[in-house]
Structure 1
Amino acid sequence: MREDNARTSGTNNGTASGLPDQARRDRLKKWRRAKDHFSTYGVSAGGLGVVFALALIFIYLFYEVFPLLRSADITPVSSYALHEGGIEHFSLERYNELAAIHTSDGRVRFLEAGDGQLRREVVLPLPEDASISAFAAGDPSEGLFIYGLDDGRALVARTEYRLSYPQDRRHIEPQIAYPLGAEAVSVDAAGAALRRVAVQETGRGFTVAAATDDGRLLLAVYTATVSLFTGEVSLRRQEYILPSPAQPAEKLLIDGAGRNLFVTDALGAIHYYDISNPAAAILVHSVAAVAPGATISAVEFLKGSVSLIVGGTDGTLSQWFLVRDADNVQKLTRIRDFLPHAAAITTLAPEYNRKGFVAADASGSIGIHYATSQRTLLMEPISDKPLVHLGLSPVNIALLAVDEAGRVHYFDLDNPHPQVSMSALWSKVWYEGREGPAYVWQSSSASDDFESKFSLVPLTLGTLKAAFFAMLFAIPLAIMAAVYSAYFMTRALRGFVKPTIEVMEALPTVILGFLAGLWLAPFIERNLPAVFAIFLFIPLAMLLASFLWSCLPADFRARISPGWEGALLVPVVLVVGWLCVAMSPQVEVWFFDGSMRQWLTEVGITYDQRNALVVGIAMGFAVIPTIFSITEDAVFNVPKHLTQGSMALGATPWQTVVGVVIPTASPGIFSAVMIGFGRAVGETMIVLMATGNSPITNFNIFEGMRTLSANIAVELPETAVASTHFRILFLSALVLFVITFIVNTVAEVVRQRLRKRYSSL
């Protein structure tokens, strides 16, 4: 009885059995529940934090990209009446303070752009015995203009603005310069009236084209020499007679190089003359530029004087430039059309530093268009009368429009990113000087006349190309090595191999890129046959060595412990690899006339030293540890009862791996592949140093590429903040973000389905 009481007492106190008492156990349970709740909420908060961080990244990228989607906008500033009549030309200087008006009576009036107050008037030194018969303006950025006279002479002048800062305030002093002298120069020696004129400053001097009253088409080239001591200008003049078009000329245009002359007529045709050799100038091509029944009502060069913008009386707008045909002859070709206006186009104003232009029509509306992106950014009525002149700010922030009643409408202009459209980013675009539409990325050039090319297709395709060849190299090696290591390899050897491969992941990718660019790329170029021989003969040699091993006596094979067989293949791989490299020069002599690279070139395959093959090997080497480590863990953690059951039913180890282990581990293997692919897509330093960074659109393994990440790394430090180029680089980052997000989402969906399918095993 005493013993029972003692046992009962010990049980109640919780001490006889060594267990804590009830109160303490309750406290431990509460503490365990608290830790469980804390862990649950902590993990959930961490997951939500990751999602929130990704959302913030997306929002920031979209914030930087959003301005690209905006159209142009104009804000009325002022409106005033002009008292001058006979306006020939209207222009603005870069600070938008002064407007220059060229009148038909030979005056240039400089007005305050905001209110029309006269700042200065210049009367041009025209001869008293002649009258003005024609006027034309040259390149807007040069300020050049010409007055043609009825005695065959012409006066060439230039509008200039000199800056000074008296009392720390900017003062603009307008002036007129005379590059060919202050006296009118002879254009037509016969003295016929100049009906139409054009002027352009070229590399060989000043070129003037003129159509005379008697139907002749003339070309005069002037070379001006200024005396170092007296400052006097001496002219050398050469005059040429060109073949006349069938119809009288309505407009003459000379390109900036002085090689091409374009003449429009009253029937809506454009005639192209090759004047690269003025003494042998020829009429190359004539083309109807507007629909039947319409005529050309306005035509101007875009910046760079390569493209013509043609406006018709039917309100149509189109872009034209020279394209070489199959016979290597340049033909004027219609490239693209823009949103038509509701009335006849009356005047055009090209932008000074981009490929955009403003068009005005007879209904009083203006349209802001951009050539490369084929965008119409604004179409808006600003007057109830036809517009006859436009003045566009050289920096694209102000616009002056003059209507038929002589009233000036002054607007602030907001048009920061006209170069961007979905078609310009993702479709083929026909750029100036090219034979057809193409995907091109070329964000900058040494020329001020450069046409920006912002196609994201070469960059996106380059990203996928680099990732594809890297995964093609990495997936077979990593997965098969992981399966062998986890299932067949002995524990001791696995303890050495697995950490060694995982340490590879710690290698800086900049080192891998450096080695790939400076050592691997030249090595592959010198030993190209060896590379393909290694990929072919090493697997065959491994199979042959395995077959010979199986043919050896069983007692000899028993001396090697199971799981160490793979170590025997190391000498085989090294010897075969060395033989392939050693025989490479001789193979080139036998089969490729001494150079496999030259042989590839001769059969039409381009070979670049830094190419996708180099990137595939180098980036595959960087991706292998990631795929190997995750796959090896997935295979190693397959429940032992599954493999033991398979073996008990008579399956061989290989059959067990293929039929049981790999399907069970497939969610982990798939995750490993997708994580490796995500790293390959976002890799920067290897592709930056080993690809050549050529933005091309093909999957040729012997050519390089440019990826989105490498392009951002190269160009973002050099671009102007908030510029179009800057925001398109952020768009590239957004595209990369979306690609990675889609890949990871698809990978998770597939992984969950695989996990559900094989979870019952």
Structure 2
Amino acid sequence: MTSAAVIRRQRKRQLKDRLANFTIGLGGVSVIVAIALIFFYLLFEVWPLFKGADVHAEKAVKTSAPALYLNADEYNDSGLRVLADGQVEIIDARTGAVRSTTSLALPEGVSVAAVNEGPVLSGLVGIGLSNGQLLIAKPNYEVSYGADNERSVSTSLAFPYGDKPVTVDASGKPLTVFYLRGDEESFKVLAWADGKLVRQTFEVVSTGEEGLSLSFGGDEEGEKSYEVTLTEELPYAGTAPTRLVLGQEGHWGYALHDGNRLSVFSLRDEPVLTEEIALTDGKTRVTALTALQGNISLLVGDDTGTVAQWFLVRDASSEMDRFNLRKIRQVDLGDAPITAIAAEQRRKGFLAGDAKGVVSYYYTTSERLITQQQVATTPIRALSMSARSTGVLVQSEDAYGFWHLEIEHPDISMSSSWSKVWYESYEAPTYTWQSSSGTTDFESKLSLMPLTFGTLKAAFYAMLLAAPLAICGAMYTAVFMSPALRRKVKPAIELMQALPTVILGFLAGLWLAPTIEGNLPGIFSLLILTPLAVLVVGALWSRLPLEKRAFADGWAPLILIVPILVVGWLSFTFSQPIENAVFGGDVRLWLETETGLKFDQRNSLIVGLAMGFAVIAPIFSIAEDALFAVPRHLTNGSLALGATQWQTLTRVVLPTASPGIFSAVMIGFGRAVGETMIVLMATGNTAVMEWNIFEGMRTLSANVAVEMGEAEVGSTHFRILFLSALVLFVLTFVLNTVAEVVRTRLRKKYGSL
């Protein structure tokens, strides 16, 4: 070959080398860029969860007559104000400009004594009159669109129970202290009437035209009249209360009296006084009290600028079904007395105004003080938040104002995501994931702790099975097994990686779970007897003369196949007799009654077996390669110096191969952490925090797979799922980084051997 041809070949080879280096380098950089883009995309979707509020004033106008009640439609286009003289003003919500004025149909010589709102979800407003009567109203907003798709809102004050007031206090005294709630056909009123605390039930007693009715939305199609059908006096002997609330479907009654005392009544059947407590210390007086959305919690404001949340908690120490009112949390909003509190309509937040004209927005579940604004120079008298929580209407003693509010995810904080939260009606603070419910007053429970715990729990039980089997199998295959058998066993085990995880999850959920449930004693017998059988067979084998077992040198594992199959057959055959003899015929019931362990069909044991089976293959393959790659001069030198094969394995081969073995374990652990289909189909997807092997779990990956399709794009639920994905991403990244650091140090330590 001429020198020119040699030069051309060298140039071609150099070009190929450069191209290969560039391609490999570009691939590596592309992987890093892709991972970085994934991280920043997840962060982009998650970041709005922790943004603050955007609040700014739209308009403030002076008013000579402060409103007792105000409200706006969900678009903040139109609103209404009810004045003390019985006038109803239809206003532009943003500017406060009066569009029209109407008067309430009050009897001659009767005026408005008080205006109290009912449950925020119902929208009902009770107007107490000076003659002891009650008029029930409800804001009505009819939205229509014109030819150019221009929205217009027709605003009125509807009367869902008719425009004729009903008599609550027959003595004719002004009705000022009352609370109401109602449905389509009736309503209940808790009131201080004629010196007594009474609960009255009003029902329809006559109907106008046949087939016509008055709808709850306020559209009058016929006429109905309501009369009291039941009056119950509550066992109350205190002074005149200053505030009343009907809570939780009207089953509980609360009466505030003597500045800071609260009487609690059970109203499920006959009214019963269950307890009387002090909401504050003796020097602090309660200045505002209302119910949070859903009427489960009470919001209590006092003259020190503090608002506290109280709700009923079941008494776990009592044998009877007893509830106690407990203060769950509180927030200090300043040093001025709280003068008004308004609950948010669709979420668990509230507005609070004080005597210095400061309005605060606080979210109870996340314990976040979202914003505080100086909106007036005089005390706040009335507050309202629009249905979409984008506008705040403020009435002070001398001015009306509208504030634009933009806060999409107030219910999420680092505390609510990672710490225990005391949710409404719960007995104690808990870690809970419950993202949806069938009720409108649902309190979202979006703690990531049970999901993270479930992820680590599933990985732990999978590794508990996979790591010892895979590493011990790799040790035997690489060091003791005959080359001919190794060439068959290693590819067969590596072929396990080709099994789709969805198939493994399907088999685990539909076949393995019921099989183990029906043969639980047999499963544990199998786990105990299999190692014993191997030891017995090994002991018997070792007692045979060398010449009789020399033929099986390196093939000894094949001898164990039959004993293991026999042990498995015996374990399942005697499973039911063992269950009948030892566990009274039902091992699940025995576990719950004798040990307190609950048993779910799809549990951690199923996940450990199924996911452990999936993780064995990669751990075995990498660990076996690392062990087999140990230089032969090290093992030959050890054997030449008189060490046995076992001593050579433990003192020479394992330390040298430890970086590869550690990498194998961490790769298997990373796969177990990120596994989706097996845990999705075999765990039951219950977000519990229990190490009990007989209970399931819900993992981060399975949660994203289950709920992402149902989440509204851009909603809190949607973004918290992305936060779950980000947590999983960071968790696996940290695990891989730690693994690489440890592997590098091990390689430096044993690389000189």
TM-score range, shorter chain: over 0.9
Q: Is residue 2:309 matched to residue 1:319?
A: yes
Shift of 1:120: 3.4
Identify the range of structure 1 (218-227 vs 293-302) with the bigger mean alpha-carbon deviation.
Answer: 218-227
The structure that has the greater radius of gyration is 1
Identity of aligned residues (%): 47
- Could you tell me which amino acid in structure 2 is paired with residue 98 of structure 1? S
Shift of 1:256: 4.8
SS state at 2:600 partner: coil
Q: Residue in 1 aligned with 2:733?
A: 741
Q: Is residue 2:507 matched to residue 1:515?
A: yes
Once residues 237 and 406 of structure 2 are traced to their aligned partners in structure 1, the CA distance between those partners, rounded to angstroms, is: 42
Q: Residue in 2 aligned with 1:16?
A: none
Once residues 82 and 322 of structure 1 are traced to their aligned partners in structure 2, the CA distance between those partners, rounded to angstroms, is: 40
Q: Residue in 1 aligned with 2:405?
A: 413
Shift of 1:218: 1.8
Once residues 737 and 225 of structure 1 are traced to their aligned partners in structure 2, the CA distance between those partners, rounded to angstroms, is: 64
Q: Residue in 1 aligned with 2:569?
A: 578
Once residues 262 and 93 of structure 1 are traced to their aligned partners in structure 2, the CA distance between those partners, rounded to angstroms, is: 30
Shift of 1:21: 5.9
Consecutive unaligned residues of structure 1, counting only runs of 5 or more, are 1-19
Q: Residue in 2 aligned with 1:120?
A: 100
Q: Residue in 2 aligned with 1:82?
A: 63
Deviations 1:465-495 (A, max 9, x none): 0000000010111111111111111122111
Q: Residue in 2 aligned with 1:378?
A: 371
Q: Is residue 2:453 matched to residue 1:461?
A: yes
Identify the range of structure 1 (37-46 vs 303-312) with the bigger mean alpha-carbon deviation.
Answer: 37-46
Q: Is residue 2:383 matched to residue 1:390?
A: yes
- For residue 593 of structure 1, the aligned residue among 584, 592, 616 is 584
Identify the range of structure 1 (145-154 vs 255-264) with the bigger mean alpha-carbon deviation.
Answer: 145-154
- Could you tell me which amino acid in structure 2 is paired with residue 641 of structure 1? H
Is this contact kept in 2: 1:201–1:256, CA < 8 A?
no
Q: Residue in 2 aligned with 1:642?
A: 634
Count of residues in correspondence between the two structures: 736
- For residue 89 of structure 2, the aligned residue among 103, 109, 121 is 109
Once residues 753 and 49 of structure 1 are traced to their aligned partners in structure 2, the CA distance between those partners, rounded to angstroms, is: 27
Q: How does 1:436-585 map to 2 (within 5 A)?
A: 436-558=428-550, 560-585=551-576
Q: Is residue 2:114 matched to residue 1:134?
A: yes
Deviations 1:585-611 (A, max 9, x none): 011011111121111111211000000
Is this contact kept in 1: 2:66–2:395, CA < 8 A?
no
Identify the range of structure 1 (395-404 vs 120-129) with the bigger mean alpha-carbon deviation.
Answer: 120-129
SS state at 1:505 partner: helix
Is this contact kept in 2: 1:120–1:174, CA < 8 A?
no
SS state at 1:114 partner: coil
Shift of 1:252: 1.1
Once residues 245 and 75 of structure 1 are traced to their aligned partners in structure 2, the CA distance between those partners, rounded to angstroms, is: 48
Shift of 1:239: 1.2
Once residues 433 and 333 of structure 1 are traced to their aligned partners in structure 2, the CA distance between those partners, rounded to angstroms, is: 10
Q: Residue in 2 aligned with 1:725?
A: 717
Q: Residue in 1 aligned with 2:396?
A: 403
- For residue 288 of structure 1, the aligned residue among 278, 298, 317 is 278
Identify the range of structure 1 (453-462 vs 334-343) with the bigger mean alpha-carbon deviation.
Answer: 334-343
Q: How does 1:69-468 map to 2 (within 5 A)?
A: 69-83=50-64, 85-167=65-147, 168-201=149-182, 205-212=186-193, 215-224=195-204, 227=207, 228-229=210-211, 231-237=222-228, 238-277=230-269, 280-325=270-315, 326-327=317-318, 328-405=321-398, 407-468=399-460
Shift of 1:547: 1.0
Once residues 366 and 334 of structure 1 are traced to their aligned partners in structure 2, the CA distance between those partners, rounded to angstroms, is: 23
- Could you tell me which amino acid in structure 2 is paired with residue 307 of structure 1? S
Deviations 1:529-577 (A, max 9, x none): 111111111111011111111222333213x241111111111111111
Once residues 176 and 44 of structure 2 are traced to their aligned partners in structure 1, the CA distance between those partners, rounded to angstroms, is: 55
Shift of 1:463: 0.1
Q: Is residue 2:695 matched to residue 1:703?
A: yes
Shift of 1:756: 1.2
Once residues 344 and 288 of structure 1 are traced to their aligned partners in structure 2, the CA distance between those partners, rounded to angstroms, is: 18
Is this contact kept in 2: 1:200–1:256, CA < 8 A?
no
Cα pair distance change 1:401/1:150, threshold 3 Å = closer
Is this contact kept in 2: 1:152–1:188, CA < 8 A?
yes
Once residues 457 and 748 of structure 1 are traced to their aligned partners in structure 2, the CA distance between those partners, rounded to angstroms, is: 27
Q: Is residue 2:610 matched to residue 1:630?
A: no
Consecutive unaligned residues of structure 2, counting only runs of 5 or more, are 213-221
Moved segments of 4+, more than 4 Å = 20-42
- Could you tell me which amino acid in structure 1 is paired with residue 308 of structure 2? S
- Could you tell me which amino acid in structure 2 is paired with residue 383 of structure 1? A
Is this contact kept in 2: 1:82–1:116, CA < 8 A?
no
SS state at 2:176 partner: strand
Once residues 205 and 476 of structure 2 are traced to their aligned partners in structure 1, the CA distance between those partners, rounded to angstroms, is: 83
RMSD over equivalenced CA pairs, Å? 1.9
Which TM-score applies when normalising by structure 2?
Answer: 0.94
Deviations 1:664-687 (A, max 9, x none): 111111100000000000000000
- Could you tell me which amino acid in structure 2 is paired with residue 81 of structure 1? K
Is this contact kept in 1: 2:337–2:355, CA < 8 A?
yes
Shift of 1:94: 1.5
Shift of 1:263: 1.5
Shift of 1:24: 5.7
- For residue 47 of structure 2, the aligned residue among 46, 66, 69 is 66
Deviations 1:299-319 (A, max 9, x none): 221111111111111101111
Once residues 203 and 289 of structure 1 are traced to their aligned partners in structure 2, the CA distance between those partners, rounded to angstroms, is: 35
Which TM-score applies when normalising by structure 1?
Answer: 0.93
Once residues 225 and 602 of structure 1 are traced to their aligned partners in structure 2, the CA distance between those partners, rounded to angstroms, is: 55
SS state at 1:420 partner: coil
